[in-house]
Amino acid sequence: MAIEIKPVSSRRDLKTFIYLPAKIHQGHRYWVPPIYQDEWKYFDPQKNKAFSYCATIRLLAFRQKEAVGRIMGIINHRYNEYRQEKAARFGYLEAGPDKEVIAALLKAVEDWARQKGMEKIVGPYGFTDQDPEGFMVKGFDNRATIATYYNFEWMPKMVEELGYTKDIDYYVYKVNVPDEIPDFYRKIYQRVLKKGDFRVLEFRKRKELKPWIKPVLSLMNECYSQSEIYGYTPLDEEEMEALAKRYLPILNPRFVKVVIQGEEVVAFIVGIPDMTEGIIKARGKLFPFGFIHILRAAKKTKQLDLLLGAVKEPFRGKGLDVLMGIKMLESAKELGFEVIDSHHEMETNVRVRAEMERMGGQVYKKFRVYKKQL
């Protein structure tokens, strides 16, 4: 039966695009649906500013008029100018175990990228590194987190058979929350405080946190740009505000730690309680009662997911990660958390990975971004 590839050209098409993964992953134990209210905004060129500096194509695959797959192609012009590259991205690839469908979707995006003058394609990747990135290649017996992909085990293998090779791997560590902070870290903590005139800011209410959101995101912009974070493009003011609005409602202020020297923000770390059980119960819908399931899950969970973090370049290697880490562990212990998910750590970030291992962390998930020359 022939496969027909069609661009998303109507609201009806977009609805099919957004809800197709739920059909494909039906009964998939560890898959977590997205928050659909966010999906409608994310894939809408009128509401997502990233469309203004990216060329995009959203495609659906049909067999006998039935939707059987989807994919999105992205060319981030801002990133390409910043990195002096001609790279396209594929993302949000979903299909059943049908290599013919996957091949047709990828070929359609590859052809589109060539027509746009691109020389390579990478993925899965979204508009920015704040979006889910990489296919899971290890850890399939663990539930997805709110900020990561969860794909079938056969998906990466099929993509590799279609000519894609590894571009970069990300490691995710699971760290047990200790009953007591080791003396080794306590000594580092005291030494860093005395030598650098640093203060760790902690918060209990969102109104206390709000004035620090912009300085924190500005530091993220600065640090991620300087550190050559894979796929990162500096955010403008509007995008930082959008990112803040996206995450502030679900943040527990207790899991935001900010280090200042004088009045300057020099480091931060952000975590959120794992709320995926509630999202599953809500089926990705906030209303009319979905948000109640999500809030309950955030209160009952024993897992804390790290989300973002950065240390200003002149202060790296001075123990600020220990300052924030101890405070985060103390808060996690106080509120009854048992494990911490590190989120993505680039394979090249050997310093942070070594710190995770020193804390007893074990790699329990691994994600891979693929590449192909066009």
* Per-residue model confidence as pLDDT tens digits over 137-171: 999 999 999 888 899 999 999 999 999 999 999 99
Residue boundaries of the structural domains of the chain: 6-170, 178-337
What is the per-residue pLDDT for 227? 62
Amino acid type, 295: L
Among the listed residues 104, 102, 129, the one whose alpha carbon sits nearest the alpha carbon of residue 367: 129
Helix, strand, coil % (nearest 5) of the chain? 40, 25, 30
Please give the average per-residue pLDDT across 345-374, as a whole number.
Answer: 91
What is the per-residue pLDDT for 224? 82
What is the per-residue pLDDT for 287? 93
Please give the average per-residue pLDDT across 348-370, as a whole number.
Answer: 90
Domain 6-170 matches domain 178-337 at the CATH topology level: yes
What is the per-residue pLDDT for 228? 65
More confident residue, 238 or 134: 134
Where residue 3 falls among pLDDT bands split at 50, 70, 90? very high
Secondary structure (3-state) at 358: helix
What is the per-residue pLDDT for 115? 98
How high does pLDDT run on average in the chain? 92
What is the per-residue pLDDT for 251? 83
Does the pLDDT of residue 196 top 80, yes or no?
no
What is the per-residue pLDDT for 154? 96
Q: Which of 91-105, 121-135, 347-361 has the highest mean pLDDT?
A: 91-105
Q: Is the CB of residue 70 less than 8 Å from the CB of residue 318? A: no
Give me the helix-helix angle, 350-358 and 320-334, nearest 10°. 40
The whole-angstrom separation of Cα 259 and Cα 201 is: 6
Does the pLDDT of residue 225 top 80, yes or no?
no
Does the pLDDT of residue 226 top 70, yes or no?
no
Does the pLDDT of residue 71 top 80, yes or no?
yes
Say if strands 120-123 and 87-95 run parallel, antiparallel, or are unpaired: parallel
Q: Which of 43-52, 188-197, 355-364 has the highest mean pLDDT?
A: 43-52
More confident residue, 166 or 359: 166
Non-local (6+) Cβ contacts of 16 within 8 A are: 8, 60, 67, 70
Homologous superfamily (CATH) for 178-337: Gcn5-related N-acetyltransferase (GNAT) (3.40.630.30)
Homologous superfamily (CATH) for 6-170: Gcn5-related N-acetyltransferase (GNAT) (3.40.630.30)
What is the per-residue pLDDT for 186? 86
Please report, for residues 80, 131, 146, the alpha-carbon distance to residue 232 in angstroms, rounded to integers and kept in the order given.
10, 11, 20
Please give the average per-residue pLDDT across 165-182, as a whole number.
Answer: 94
For the record, the structure tokens of 176 come out as 């047990």
What is the per-residue pLDDT for 129? 83
Please give the average per-residue pLDDT across 245-272, as a whole number.
Answer: 89
Amino acid type, 174: K
Please give the average per-residue pLDDT across 206-232, as a whole number.
Answer: 84
The whole-angstrom separation of Cα 6 and Cα 65 is: 11
Please give the average per-residue pLDDT across 117-137, as a whole number.
Answer: 94
Query: Which range is least confidently modeled, 125-129, 246-250, 327-331?
Result: 246-250
Q: Which of 118-122, 185-189, 190-194, 224-228 has the highest mean pLDDT?
A: 118-122
For the record, the structure tokens of 162 come out as 């279609």
Please give the average per-residue pLDDT across 216-224, as a whole number.
Answer: 88
Please state the φ and ψ torsions of residue 311, each to the nearest 5 degrees.
-130, 130
